[in-house]
C-alpha cells in the first residue's frame, strides 16, 4: 500500500438536483425542509452513500474516517454452496434504501463515524491463501488509519485473515473473538486444508494473543456440525452457547455474556457474524440456510446490544443475494450493521466520547 495523502472527508448527497448542487449545511442531513441525502439518484453505489476512500492508512487518516466499510467478494473458501461473492454488492444496494439518520438513536451514522467505503478487496482466483493475504493487508491499512472496520463477505473464511490483522495490530495486548453462527466453524482442517469457512474459530485460537477464555460462540444447531468441530470446543474448554440455550435463557442474556467474555481483559474484539445464524424464514439469502435459528427481531436485538460493547471489526459473512427473496436477506443484513452502529454511536455519545 502507498502512503499518499488524499482529500478531507466530505459528503455530498447524490440527489436528483445533481451531486454538486446540495452542499450547504442546511441542504441535507439536519435540514427540516428536505429528506436526508441517502435517497439518491443512481450513481456509484457505496455503503450508506459514503465517500470512497483508497484502502491506504494515510488516505483513511487524511479523510478523518472513523469507520471503513470493506467488501470481500470471495467464496472460494466455501465448503457448502457458492454465491457469497455477491454479498458486498447486495449490502451496498440495500443501504441505498435507508437514510444514514437512525431516528431510534437520534444519530446520523454517516457524519458521526465519518464513514468511508474502501471498496472491494481484490482476490486471486483459485487461491484462498493468496486472497487471504490481500484481506489481511486491506484490513490492516484501515486499522492503522485509525478506523474501525465493517467487513462484508464473502464466505466465512474471511475472519481468518481479518482476525489475524486485528491480532497483529494489537500485538502487545489480548483480543477477544465473538462467533455468531449456525455452524461451529472449528474443524482443525477440512480435507487437509486449514483455511476454509469451516475453520475460523480454530484459527482464532492459533493467534498468539487470543486466549480461549475470550473466544465464545453462539447460535449453533442442526446436522452440519461434524464431531471434530464439537470436540474442539470441549477439548479447549471454549464457551459454546447452542441455539437451544439461546431459546431457554433469552437472546439478550446470551448476547451480553458473549461480549462480556470476549471483552474481559482484552484491548479489542473481533465480531464474526454469519448470516446463517438467522432462521431461514427471514434469511433465505445465505449460503447454508437453516431452520430453528435467530429470528429477525432477535437479530436486531443482538446488534443493538453488541453496539453497547463495541467491536474493532464487525463482520457480516455468507450473505448470498443469489438466493434472496425480495431483498429481505440483504435488507436485514444491512439493518444489523445500521442498528449496531446506531447503538454504538448512542453509547459513545452518552459516555461523552467521539467515534
Residue 2 lies in a domain: no
Render pLDDT for 12-21 as a digit per residue (tens, 0 to 9): 554 334 344 5
What span, in angstroms and rounded, lies between the C-alpha atoms of 137 and 111?
Answer: 26
Q: What pLDDT sits at residue 43?
A: 60
Residue 6 lies in a domain: no
Render pLDDT for 282-310 as a digit per residue (tens, 0 to 9): 999 999 999 999 999 999 999 999 999 99
What span, in angstroms and rounded, lies between the C-alpha atoms of 133 and 226?
Answer: 28
pLDDT band at 30 (very low <50, low <70, confident <90, very high): very low
What's this model's pTM, rounded to 2 decimal places?
0.91
Q: What pLDDT sits at residue 14?
A: 44
Can you give the CATH number for the domain in which 289 is found? 3.40.800.10
Residue 13 lies in a domain: no
Residue 35 lies in a domain: no
Looking at 73-82, 106-115, 327-336, which range is the least confident one? 73-82
Render pLDDT for 242-262 as a digit per residue (tens, 0 to 9): 999 999 999 999 999 999 999
Query: What is the number of domains present in the chain?
Result: 1
Place of cell 482484552: 266
Residue 156 lies in a domain: yes
Q: What pLDDT sits at residue 18?
A: 39
Residue 355 lies in a domain: no
Interhelix angle for 328-350 vs 296-309, to 10°? 30
- The number of beta carbons lying within 10 Å of the beta carbon of residue 133 is 13
What span, in angstroms and rounded, lies between the C-alpha atoms of 68 and 24?
Answer: 25
Domain limits at 346?
47-350
Backbone torsion region of residue 59, taken as left when φ is above 0, otherwise alpha when ψ lies between -120 and 50, otherwise beta: alpha
Residue 31 lies in a domain: no
Residue 275 lies in a domain: yes
| Three-state SS annotation for 36-105 | CCCCCCCCCCCHHHCCECCCCHHHHHHCCCCEEEEEECCCCCCCCCCCHHHHHHHHHHHHCCCCCEECCC
Whether the predicted pLDDT of 23 surpasses 60: no
Amino acid at each position: 500500500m502507498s502512503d499518499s495523502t488524499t482529500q478531507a472527508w466530505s459528503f455530498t448527497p447524490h440527489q436528483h438536483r445533481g451531486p454538486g448542487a446540495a452542499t450547504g449545511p442546511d441542504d441535507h442531513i439536519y435540514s427540516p425542509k428536505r429528506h436526508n441525502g441517502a435517497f439518491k439518484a443512481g450513481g456509484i453505489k457505496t455503503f450508506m452513500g459514503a465517500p470512497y476512500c483508497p484502502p491506504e492508512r494515510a488516505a483513511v487518516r487524511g479523510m478523518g474516517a472513523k469507520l471503513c466499510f470493506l467488501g470481500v467478494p470471495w467464496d472460494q473458501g466455501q465448503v457448502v454452496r457458492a454465491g457469497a461473492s455477491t454479498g458486498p454488492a447486495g449490502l451496498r444496494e440495500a443501504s441505498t434504501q435507508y437514510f444514514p439518520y437512525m431516528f431510534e438513536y437520534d444519530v446520523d451514522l454517516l457524519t458521526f463515524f465519518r464513514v468511508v467505503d474502501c471498496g472491494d478487496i481484490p482476490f486471486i482466483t483459485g487461491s484462498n491463501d493468496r486472497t487471504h493475504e490481500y484481506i489481511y493487508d486491506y484490513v490492516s491499512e484501515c486499522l492503522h488509519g485509525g478506523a474501525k472496520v465493517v467487513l462484508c463477505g464473502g464466505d466465512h473464511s474471511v475472519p481468518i485473515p481479518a482476525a489475524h490483522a486485528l491480532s497483529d495490530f494489537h500485538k502487545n495486548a489480548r483480543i477477544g473473538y465473538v462467533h455468531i453462527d449456525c455452524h461451529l466453524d472449528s474443524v482443525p482442517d477440512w480435507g487437509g486444508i486449514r483455511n476454509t469457512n469451516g475453520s475460523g474459530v480454530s484459527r482464532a485460537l492459533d493467534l498468539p494473543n487470543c486466549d480461549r477464555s475470550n473466544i465464545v460462540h453462539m447460535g449453533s444447531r442442526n446436522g452440519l456440525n461434524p464431531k471434530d468441530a464439537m470436540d474442539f470446543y470441549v477439548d479447549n474448554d471454549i464457551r459454546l452457547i447452542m441455539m437451544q440455550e439461546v431459546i431457554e435463557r433469552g437472546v439478550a442474556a446470551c448476547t451480553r455474556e458473549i461480549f462480556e467474555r470476549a471483552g474481559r481483559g482484552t484491548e479489542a474484539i473481533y465480531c464474526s457474524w454469519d448470516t446463517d445464524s438467522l432462521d431461514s424464514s427471514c434469511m433465505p439469502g445465505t449460503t447454508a440456510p437453516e431452520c430453528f435459528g435467530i429470528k429477525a427481531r432477535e437479530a436486531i436485538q443482538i446488534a443493538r446490544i453488541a453496539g453497547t460493547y463495541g467491536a474493532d471489526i464487525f463482520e457480516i459473512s455468507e450473505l448470498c443475494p443469489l438466493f434472496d427473496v425480495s431483498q429481505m436477506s440483504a435488507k436485514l443484513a444491512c439493518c444489523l450493521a445500521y442498528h449496531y452502529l446506531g447503538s454504538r454511536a448512542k453509547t459513545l455519545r452518552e459516555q461523552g466520547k467521539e467515534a
